[in-house]
Amino acid sequence: MSGRRKFIKKTTLGTIGLGSVFSSLSATEYRLKNIPQSKPVKKPVVISTWKHGLAANAEAWKQLKQGTRALDAIVAGVGVSEADPNVRSVGYGGLPDREGKVTLDACIMDKNSNCGSVSFLQGIKHPIAVAQKVLEKTPHVMLTGEGALQFALEQGFKEENLLTEKSKQSWEKWLEKSKYRPVINIENHDTISMLVLDEEGNLSGGCTTSGAAWKMHGRVGDSPIIGAGLFLDNEVGAAAATGLGEAVIRTAGSAMVVELMRQGKSPFEACKTIVERIYNKHKNHKDMAYLQVGFIAINKNGEHAGYSVRPGFNYAVCDDEQGNRMESAQAKVKKSN
C-alpha cells in the first residue's frame, strides 16, 4: 500500500474512532468517563485568595447557609475586603495609581457562563456589585472607565472618595522617588478572588482589586478580564489569579487552568502547569525580576489547590469539615524576590 493510501486509511480509522466517542457521549459524560475522580467533599466550599479571604469567606459562608444564591454570596463576601480600608489592594483604601487616583477592576461569572465586569472604575466602593449589575442588567460583559461609572450611578451606587489618608501618605512617599517597581506579594498587590462550589454543586466566582499600586493611569490588569483573572466552566472547575496581571493576561491564565482540569489534571497539577508556563515564558522578560503570580482552583468535586511562582502566596478555604482556615500554596521557586 502506498504511503499516501496508508495515511488515508489511518486517518479515516482515527476519525471513525474519535467520531464514535463524541457522537455517543455528551461532553459531560466524556469528561466523567475520562477524568480520574477525586472523592467528593461535602458542599458548599468557598476559597479566596490571601489572608483577607478569611473575612470574605466568613461572610459568603454565612450568606450561603442562609440560602442566598452563590453570586450574591460572592458579592457580599468580597465586598467585605472592598469596604475595609486596611486591605490596601482592593476597593476603599486601595493604593492609587501614579497620579494618586484609585482605579478599580472587578469581574464575576456564574454557573451558566454569564459574566459581568468593570475596569478602570473610579469613585465606587464596590466594583464587584457593579460587575454583577453588568451581568444582570446589560447585554454586555464589560464596561470601563467613565461609562462604567455612569452605569453605576444610574444603578444607584454612590460616588465617594476612595483614597484614604493612609493610602494618600503612601502615595506621597512613593512620589519622592517615583520609582515604579511592582514588588508583589504583600502591601501593593493582592486581589481578592473567590470561587464557590455551592450546595447544588454549581460553580461561580468573582474577583476585585485596585490593581498594581503606582500603575500608569488607565492601566487595567487581569482581574476584570474573564479568562485571565477569573474563569470557570460549570462542567469542569473554576480558577482565579492574583499577582502580576500582565503575565496572567499574556497566558490567558485562569482559562488555561480550567482547560487543564477538563483534560483530567487535578486543581494542583493544573495550577502548577500554568505557573510553570508563565515562569518559562518570562525567563528572559523584563518583568522576571518581580514576577509573582498565584492561582487558586477548584473542581466539581470540591478538590482545591493554589500554586504560585514565588513563596508567600496563600488562600482561605471554608467548608463544613474543617471550617474557615488558611492553606499555603506551593511555589515554583524558593526565593520570594
List the grid coordinates of 209: 482589586
Phi, psi of 176 (to 5 degrees): -55, -40
Rule CB under 6 A: say whether 97 interacts with ligand ASP: no
Phi, psi of 58 (to 5 degrees): -60, -45
Rule CB under 6 A: say whether 122 interacts with ligand ASP: no
Distance, in Å, from the CA atom of 327 to the CA atom of 325, rounded to the nearest integer, reads: 7
Residues 228-267 contacting ligand ASP, CB under 6 A:
242-245
Task: Look up residue 282 and give its DSSP letter.
Answer: T
Instruction: Using the minimum distance from each CB to ligand ASP, give the nearer residue, 69 or 281.
Output: 281
Rule CB under 6 A: say whether 44 interacts with ligand ASP: no
Instruction: Using the minimum distance from each CB to ligand ASP, give the nearer residue, 123 or 243.
Output: 243
List the grid coordinates of 154: 444610574
Exactly one of 190, 233, 259, 303 binds ligand ASP (CB under 6 A); that residue is 190
| Min dist. Cβ of residue 15 to ligand ASP (A) | 42
Instruction: Using the minimum distance from each CB to ligand ASP, give the nearer residue, 63 or 295.
Output: 295
Is the CB of residue 293 less than 8 Å from the CB of residue 29?
Answer: no
Phi, psi of 198 (to 5 degrees): -85, 180
Distance, in Å, from the CA atom of 136 to the CA atom of 186, rounded to the nearest integer, reads: 34
Rule CB under 6 A: say whether 164 interacts with ligand ASP: no
Distance, in Å, from the CA atom of 234 to the CA atom of 335, rounded to the nearest integer, reads: 36
| Min dist. Cβ of residue 256 to ligand ASP (A) | 16
Instruction: Using the minimum distance from each CB to ligand ASP, give the nearer residue, 187 or 320.
Output: 187
Active site residue: 103, 191, 242, 251, which one? 191
85 HSE (CA, 13 A, CB side) = 8
Residues 282-321 contacting ligand ASP, CB under 6 A:
none
Size of the site for ligand ASP (CB under 6 A): 15
Exactly one of 82, 97, 222, 319 binds ligand ASP (CB under 6 A); that residue is 222
Residues 194-213 contacting ligand ASP, CB under 6 A:
209, 211-212
CB atoms within 10 A of CB 181: 10
Rule CB under 6 A: say whether 107 interacts with ligand ASP: no
Annotation says 191 is catalytic: yes
Say if residue 153 is exposed, middle or buried (CB neighbours under 10 Å; 0-12, 13-18, 19+). Answer: middle
Rule CB under 6 A: say whether 52 interacts with ligand ASP: no
Contact map string, positions 54 to 93, toward ligand ASP, x by CB under 6 A: -----------------------------------x----
Task: Look up residue 52 and give its DSSP letter.
Answer: T
Q: How far apart are the first and last CA of the chain?
A: 60
Give the binding range for ligand ASP (CB under 6 A) out of 31-39, 215-223, 272-280, 303-311: 215-223
Distance, in Å, from the CA atom of 68 to the CA atom of 65, rounded to the nearest integer, reads: 7
| Min dist. Cβ of residue 244 to ligand ASP (A) | 6
Instruction: Using the minimum distance from each CB to ligand ASP, give the nearer residue, 211 or 306.
Output: 211
| Min dist. Cβ of residue 85 to ligand ASP (A) | 18
Which residue blocks in the chain are alpha helix, DSSP H?
3-24, 27-34, 53-65, 70-83, 127-137, 145-154, 165-177, 245-250, 253-262, 267-281
| Min dist. Cβ of residue 224 to ligand ASP (A) | 9
Exactly one of 52, 88, 133, 189 binds ligand ASP (CB under 6 A); that residue is 189
Give me the amino acid identity at 320.
D
Which residues are known to be catalytic?
A: 191
List interacting residues with ligand ASP (CB under 6 A): 89, 184, 189-191, 209, 211-212, 221-223, 242-245
